[in-house]
Structure 1
Amino acid sequence: MTTPAREVVAGVDTHADTHHAAVIDAVGRRLGDAQLPTTTAGYAALAAFLISFGIVVRVGVEGTGSYGAGLSRHLRSLGMLVAEVIRPNRQLRRLQGKTDPIDAYAAAQTALAEMDLPTPKTADGTVEAIRQLLVARRSAVKARTAAIAQIKALLVTAPEQTRAKFRGLSDDKLIDTLARSRPSSSEAIASAAGHALRSLARRHQHLGEEITDLEALMAPLVKAENPALVAAFGIHTVTAAQLLVTAGDNPDRLHSEASFAALCGTSPIPASSGKTTRHRLNRGGDRQANTALHRIALTRISHDRRTRDYIAGLIARGKGKKEAMRCLKRAIAREVFTHLTNPAEVPTIDDLSPLRQARGLTVAAAAAHFGVWPDKISTIERGARRDDDFANAYRQWLNAA
């Protein structure tokens, strides 16, 4: 009679050069541990080590988005169920001590005991490519912001003859003027200030070009990955890219819109006391995703009447401005979750501009017929703004013209 293979659970403590794996059985007994290199051969050896103890039911891996990303992809390719394990807190480590085997066994015990651990991102598709471009763009934006801040700080302390040349200029004009300047002062401080300011201005311009190039690379990837998300009102390439990265290549790992709202830091947090019953903004979650939702909210408040009416209604019912913004961001998170997990087909608008040109009509003439600004016709034709009802009415008018 053949003895059935036992079921085991594994845990992995990840590092830059080595991973330490530990295996326990279904009741938590320790079966063995090993340390292996973070190479292709090392991943294969680690998987073989786990399988040698029996049927691997689950593998808890620390740092699936960093040191454990490569191992997670390899284990998933073998059909293993990988769960993301949070590192033990410092208080627990002080009580139990810290070594790689201790951490690996702790990861295995967590994977065995907790069935609702997060499912890690697969990081093997288009969204991973978008994430890499987004990381580079974010770094360039921070460096460009630092450059303009340094320019203004240097101008504050520069000699008066240098300050007088650039006083009263707007930021764009200041950068352009400094980049084209030719410092020629005989004074050492004024000359050094001029060269430093020119260098920073040229850096600012170069970073601006770099940001534009990165956004141009991201745009087709984002649109191909989720055209419905990009087409939603108030969502442009960068905010859509961030929301896609937050969800990952496998958005099905998000169990509900509530879990996505919590992930984005827009879930309501009780903040009641005494006779006051209220909720406040969630300051946890992915702050970059929260920032993306905040930008969408500000855009809609500025350009969408329904959003302004919604905010006004909340305030009229006694909510503060921050609470109203929290409610709006929660509603936007609900809409984004739908786009991520169940994207709808986006109606094509590529025919609108050729139809108008074939009829010999200008944008201004079309705008005059509908009583709107020409900019609205232009944005609809370019797909920069989605308004299906208006686009359909516009198409019918063009066909009838």
Structure 2
Amino acid sequence: MTSAAAPDTADQDVLGGDVLGGVDSHADTLHVAVISDNGGHLADAEFTTTAAGYAAALAFLEAHGHVRAIGVEGTSSYGTGFTRAARSAGLHVVEVNRPDRAERRRIGKSDPIDAYAAARAALSGRASGSPKDDTVAGIRALHNAARSAIKARTAALNQIGHLLITAPDTIRAKYGPLKGSERTDALARLRPAGDAVHTAVLTALKSLARRVKELTAEHEALTRALDGEVTVHNPGLRAVHGVGPDTAAQLLVTAGGNPERMRSEASFAALCGAAPVPASSGRTNRHRLSRGGDRQANAALYRIALVRMSSDVRTRAYVVRQTAAGRTKKEVIRLLKRAIAREMFRCLTTTVAVPDIADLRPLRQAKNITLTAAARHFGLWPATISTLERGIRRDDILAHAYRDWLQAA
């Protein structure tokens, strides 16, 4: 820890009153600044990002007076440790975005400048958002690991495809026509032989194929673990039609575990980039598509919309009505994402009761009715009834109709 800068003489009389803190966080150090409640600079110092460093930083802040709030840059990255320590000590922490570029060009950049800017942001109220808490830290970790496994698997599959394009004719003719898991399984079983070129290419293909299989198994295991965590954390969200483990995890990570950070469903839609942005001027009155917000959350809403457009009766009827009204598919999806954002906000901020479906399978078996017969009655695939019985998918209307039919059978 470096020595703290001495307070200005003009600010000596504010020591012991209300003060605000600002933190510019880095991987190994964090710079802490203290200002008075009228914005006067009091002191700043640098601390290490260790438990001892966090304790020293908090003591440094409290030595200057009653800490009203602390503005922290990077509460979910480099500032996570300090944020956790400050909140454990009962201090109010607000999340601060980095200074805008115009201000940075005007006043320059340094750790003390950024720390004082964070403190002023907390004082002015420009920074008022609560940092994300740790309740979804496990979900975030599993989600990131599962996503990275998919990215690595895709890269390996692409490499296999590129290798086969330039491979010797005999190799390309044998393995090129194969697709999907059939090709991967065949390549993983092969025994490299032939001249030096054939042996090298086959060895590379075998290694990549085995990597694909290992990453596939790894992703499936991570997805099962993620599904369990998400279901325990928010069963109502996981049970919504079209919401799978990955989608539910992304929405929970975006919300940050503490939904009180989101003041309204409109703010959540804006956070997901699904709220139209006013673009009116003069006689022109219109809105444009938002390109901001969390793009991964926006992609999650898009996946839900696609699933519902293909398998949800009400959504398909809505698409038909909007298409008849002259809207394009892109415009319909945009409307759907905004409506889905409203529904997801309700699931994230309130406790949504999940109807009990545990009685459906025993009731069907007691009536000696097969899955095929039940599916034929409703004009569905047997897999649809099976996933409904096992709680993998939620369809309240179908569940009620299915229960009534079984009881009447």
Whether TM exceeds 0.5 here: the answer is: yes
Whether 1:61 and 2:72 are equivalent positions in the alignment is yes
Residue 228 of structure 1 is matched in structure 2 by 236
Deviations 1:115-153, CA, capped at 9 Å, x for gaps = 45322101x22x210100011111111111111111111
Counterpart of 1:357, as a letter, is Q
Residue 37 of structure 1 is matched in structure 2 by 48
Contact 1:281 1:322 in 2 (8 A): no
Counterpart of 1:305, as a letter, is V
Displacement of 1:349 in angstroms is: 1.1
Does the residue aligned with 2:45 lie in a helix, a strand or coil? strand
Which of 62, 71, 92 is matched with 1:81 structurally? Answer: 92
Displacement of 1:369 in angstroms is: 4.5
Which of 126, 140, 147 is matched with 1:131 structurally? Answer: 140
- Structure 1 pair 368–299 and aligned structure 2 pair: CA distance change class (3 A): closer
RMSD: 2.0
Deviations 1:241-275, CA, capped at 9 Å, x for gaps = 11111111211111111111111111112456887
Which of 185, 191, 195 is matched with 2:199 structurally? Answer: 191
Contact 2:164 2:176 in 1 (8 A): no
Residue 351 of structure 1 is matched in structure 2 by 359
* Superposition map of 1:277-292 within 5 A: 277-292=285-300
Residue 210 of structure 1 is matched in structure 2 by 218
- Structure 1 pair 318–118 and aligned structure 2 pair: CA distance change class (3 A): farther
Which of 313, 321, 325 is matched with 2:321 structurally? Answer: 313
Residue 158 of structure 1 is matched in structure 2 by 167
Hey, what's the Cα distance between the residues in 2 that align with 1:316 and 1:322? 14
Hey, what's the Cα distance between the residues in 2 that align with 1:382 and 1:311? 29
Hey, what's the Cα distance between the residues in 2 that align with 1:243 and 1:221? 13
Residue 169 of structure 1 is matched in structure 2 by 178
Displacement of 1:371 in angstroms is: 5.0
Residue 227 of structure 2 is matched in structure 1 by 219
Displacement of 1:397 in angstroms is: 4.1
Deviations 1:75-119, CA, capped at 9 Å, x for gaps = 111221111111123443333222211111111111111345322
Hey, what's the Cα distance between the residues in 1 that align with 2:334 and 2:350? 24
Counterpart of 1:259, as a letter, is S
Does the residue aligned with 2:263 lie in a helix, a strand or coil? coil
Counterpart of 1:249, as a letter, is G
Residue 242 of structure 1 is matched in structure 2 by 250
Hey, what's the Cα distance between the residues in 2 that align with 1:4 and 1:198? 70
Displacement of 1:293 in angstroms is: 0.8
Hey, what's the Cα distance between the residues in 1 that align with 2:282 and 2:202? 61
Where structure 1 has 5 or more consecutive residues not aligned to the other structure, the ranges are none
Contact 2:252 2:348 in 1 (8 A): yes
Does the residue aligned with 1:265 lie in a helix, a strand or coil? coil
Hey, what's the Cα distance between the residues in 2 that align with 1:326 and 1:371? 30
Hey, what's the Cα distance between the residues in 2 that align with 1:92 and 1:198? 55
Counterpart of 2:192, as a letter, is P
Contact 1:62 1:107 in 2 (8 A): yes
Where structure 2 has 5 or more consecutive residues not aligned to the other structure, the ranges are 1-13
Displacement of 1:4 in angstroms is: 11
Contact 1:279 1:323 in 2 (8 A): no
Contact 1:271 1:278 in 2 (8 A): yes
TM-score, normalised by the number of residues in structure 1: 0.93
Hey, what's the Cα distance between the residues in 2 that align with 1:315 and 1:392? 30
Q: What percentage of residue pairs aligned between the two structures are identical?
A: 56
Contact 2:237 2:344 in 1 (8 A): yes
Counterpart of 1:157, as a letter, is T
Hey, what's the Cα distance between the residues in 2 that align with 1:201 and 1:173? 11
Hey, what's the Cα distance between the residues in 2 that align with 1:308 and 1:274? 37
Hey, what's the Cα distance between the residues in 2 that align with 1:240 and 1:58? 32
- Structure 1 pair 97–116 and aligned structure 2 pair: CA distance change class (3 A): closer
Displacement of 1:232 in angstroms is: 0.7
Larger mean CA deviation between 135-144 and 368-377 belongs to: 368-377
Residue 21 of structure 2 is matched in structure 1 by 10
Q: Give the number of equivalent residue pairs.
A: 396
Hey, what's the Cα distance between the residues in 2 that align with 1:99 and 1:371? 66
Hey, what's the Cα distance between the residues in 2 that align with 1:314 and 1:365? 35
Which of 74, 84, 105 is matched with 1:94 structurally? Answer: 105
Hey, what's the Cα distance between the residues in 2 that align with 1:312 and 1:359? 38
